[in-house]
Chains A and B, each alone.
Chain A
Amino acid sequence: MTQQITNVLLVGVGGQGILLASEILSEAAMLAGFDVKKSEIHGMSQRGGSVVSHVRYGREVFSPIVPEGEGDILFGFELMETCRSLPLIKRGGTVVANDLRISPPSVLMGQESYPAGLVERISDLFPDFLLVDGQEIARDAGNVRAANTVLLGAVSRRLAIAEEFWMKALEKMVPPKALEVNNRAFLVGRKL
């Protein structure tokens, strides 16, 4: 039964827009006719802490959280948080991450260094690892703030949900003013 479920994890830092991205993904999956469940923790983590959002879709989904080590796709908004969540992903799974480093408090205060070699570590474990410079591509598409949408586009190509459902989900979830630039950013990402 579990084999029919697609397990996506979206991870990053509170305030990065992870919840909106996971909502667009859930909406697209529902429009495509799947059962969908999504789970994350609000509250304390909103104050700049680590955020992990679970999205699961398929014929019938039971658990709202992805069983440990069974994630199919890890969608990382920040490099260290991507690395922290690797134990949630199955071996042979897919990792797509934004090339962005956000320093945690201990690094800001100069007590620790931001870890080196994260990209190499992820690449060693996941040979198909896709590192995306979301900010740069979004800037080219018209707005640096659409970086998440570039990434979402890249993730979308690796999921069995047709493009029309993604476009409908974007239309429903993104404010009208920002829709055009986000659509463009999404389609650029979808080619990566």
Chain B
Amino acid sequence: MKEILSGNEAIARGAYEGGCLVACAYPGTPSTEILENTINYKEINSSWAPNEKVALEVAIGASFGGGRALCTMKHVGVNVAADPLFTLSYTGVRGGLVLVVADDAEMHSSQNEQDSRNYARFAKVPMLEPSDSQECKEFTRLAFELSEQYDTPVMLRSCTRISHGKSIVQLGERVSNLPQPRLEKNPAKLVMLPGNARVRHPLVEERMQELSGAGSTMPINRLELRDTSVGIITSGVCYQYVREVMPEASTLKLGMVHPLPQAMIRALAARVDKIYVVEELDPFIELQVKAMGINVIGKEIIPLCGELTPGRLRSAFGLPQPVAIPAETLPGRPPNMCPGCPHRGVFFALNQLKAYVTGDIGCYTLGFMPPLSAMDTCVCMGASIGMATGVAKVVSDEEKKKVVAVIGDSTFLHTGINGLMDMVYSNSPATVVILDNSITAMTGRQDNPASGFTLMDDPAHAINLPLLCKALGVKNIRIINPLDLEETQRVLAEEMERPEPSVIITDKPCVLIKREDIFQKGPVYLVDAGTCTGCRACLKIGCPAIEWRPAADGSKKGKAWIDPLLCTGCDVCRQLCKFDAIGSEK
């Protein structure tokens, strides 16, 4: 049976076929759809965790209990999960454990483009790297087997082009002979006190040596000899670009990128005249091959930044390029908050109040874009609150009042909550706004511990955010309707003035939530063309449903118009119109 699957769908399929019992993750582009597909297999218990560290810990527990477990995240998620990962390397596993990490070279949807292969080397765990959807499925299956065979977690590295690319996959059956998980105590292996850990560390080093040797006979590492004047060491999607652009070159295709199969690399060196390494981001393979005393060419010609493409690879090798039609300068089309988005009014108010906004990661990071232009920092998940505390520690008393942290519900529960503990502990005068839209919106509407549902769509306890903040010791907690501009701006101004911690929580849901009774569309609004003076006040919120229509005479005059197909009736634009030209359709 053949199907066209994305890399993420194929990884989910591979987990199913590989006998996986538990899958846990925090959503993050481009990895999110893996867990959204493991839910199609009833044999796998799939769940969202509040963050990547917890997700990995759930998977570790499942493995120690004797079941095969999958944990998935985007590249920056590994920074959060690094703490358990490094010691998991020492304990090893019981049931196979596969950690999928999806890198985002080119930063299509990320704040940096760190190369996750360094984590495999740093934590001393093997890493596989598939180059299409078929390999995504096969390598995931294999990763579970290697994990148990070598008593190690196995990382599987994907990237945007693999996870979101689709290709044909031959489906297989689920393995059926795995032992039933049961409790089994083994403290010398699983309790990493210094005395036990000292015993485990040499075993880790031996395991990696053994894997390096075994790698030279693994079928996933493949020496393809063609023209022997040039040999190229490559892996993942880069292998496809090499085959596309230099079909005659010999290749060493690495399915396991850590540890490297040294004997195979020497075999390539003995057969070809000149060796290149083609890899995205860091010179990870290149430096290790050079350390073996083999002369290779890599980052001298291959870019360190961004993703590769066939065209970029041609440029690197000085190969002829097709003469393309020159690009024309056209108005850009950046992403934008949706019509009716409850975040818009908050950023409008923050802009009016000239706040210094420490931002966070989510749809609301788009509050940075004009005309809202109300975000001053964005570093990592949960950073906004700690950073607000830090900024307020160094600036003048007058400037302290300007400092506002803005964070979403899911990001707050991810790692923002620790920042709030510190804010209360250090009695910071900064203000926190939790944009509670009842969903993890940016990655495509995933549930979280405050949304009231699980990944499997079962009802769940929804964390009460005001009560949680109260328990942390916040005395000033205000709940506001972010679609009421007067209320939003007034409450923000009051709390910014206050010389102690305060939290403002907005209470309107994301407009994209499909569940009944959560988001309800209001009546569509219209602009009365006779009353509209063309003052452009309503354009200041950057709503995609509002359009400036220039006058026919080509002058600067014109009027606003609301697209009835896009308007959700949020009412925010009406509040900006001083001339009562905007109203709902009766």
Contacts and interface: CB of A to CB of B under 8 A. Distances in A.
A67 B311 contact: yes
Interface string B367-398: 00101000000000000000000000000000
Interface stretch (B139-147, B318-326, B449-457, B483-491): B318-326
A151 interface: no
A70 B536 contact: no
A19 to B, nearest CB: 10
B323 A69 contact: yes
B544 A70 contact: no
Given A2-B244, A27-B4, A62-B240, A104 B335 contact: no
B546 interface: yes
B201 interface: no
Given A43-B109, A46-B335, A64-B161, A115 B330 contact: yes
Nearest to A38: B166
B331 A69 contact: no
Interface of A: 1-2, 13-14, 23, 26-27, 30, 35-50, 61-65, 67-70, 80-81, 83-84, 86-91, 103-110, 112-115, 121, 125
A48 to B, nearest CB: 5
Given A37-B165, A48-B335, A110-B536, A68 B321 contact: yes
Contact of B335 (A47, A67, A69, A87): A47
Contact of A63 (B4, B241, B366): B241
A43 to B, nearest CB: 3
B338 A69 contact: no
Contact of B29 (A42, A84, A121): A42
Q: Is the interface of A mostly helix, strand, loop or mixed?
A: mixed
B336 A67 contact: no
B310 A65 contact: yes
Nearest to A13: B333
A84 B337 contact: no
14 contacts: A2-B244, A30-B2, A36-B4, A37-B166, A38-B4, A40-B164, A42-B164, A48-B544, A50-B333, A63-B309, A67-B244, A69-B323, A83-B330, A112-B331
Interface string B450-481: 00000000000000000000000000000000
A42 B237 CA distance: 17
B167 A36 contact: yes
Nearest to A39: B165
Contacts of A80: 330-331, 333
A26 B324 contact: no
A113 B331 CA distance: 8
A68 B166 contact: no
Contacts of A13: 333
A110 B548 contact: yes
A63 B331 contact: no
Contacts of A90: 322
Contacts of B168: 30, 35-36
B525 to A, nearest CB: 15
Nearest to A68: B311
Closest 8 CB pairs of A and B: A110-B548, A43-B109, A69-B322, A68-B311, A47-B335, A69-B324, A67-B310, A43-B29
Contact of A41 (B160, B369, B558): B160
Nearest to A63: B244
B365 to A, nearest CB: 9
B283 interface: no
A44 B336 contact: no
Contacts of A65: 161, 309-310
B303 to A, nearest CB: 15
Contacts of A104: 331-334
B244 to A, nearest CB: 4
B360 to A, nearest CB: 15
B243 interface: yes
B310 A48 contact: no
Contacts of B245: 67
Contacts of B322: 67-70, 90
B508 to A, nearest CB: 18
Contacts of B371: 109
Nearest to A105: B336
B331 A47 contact: no
B443 interface: yes
Given A36-B168, A37-B132, A69-B324, A108 B330 contact: no
Interface in B542-560: 542, 544, 546-548, 550, 558
B572 to A, nearest CB: 15
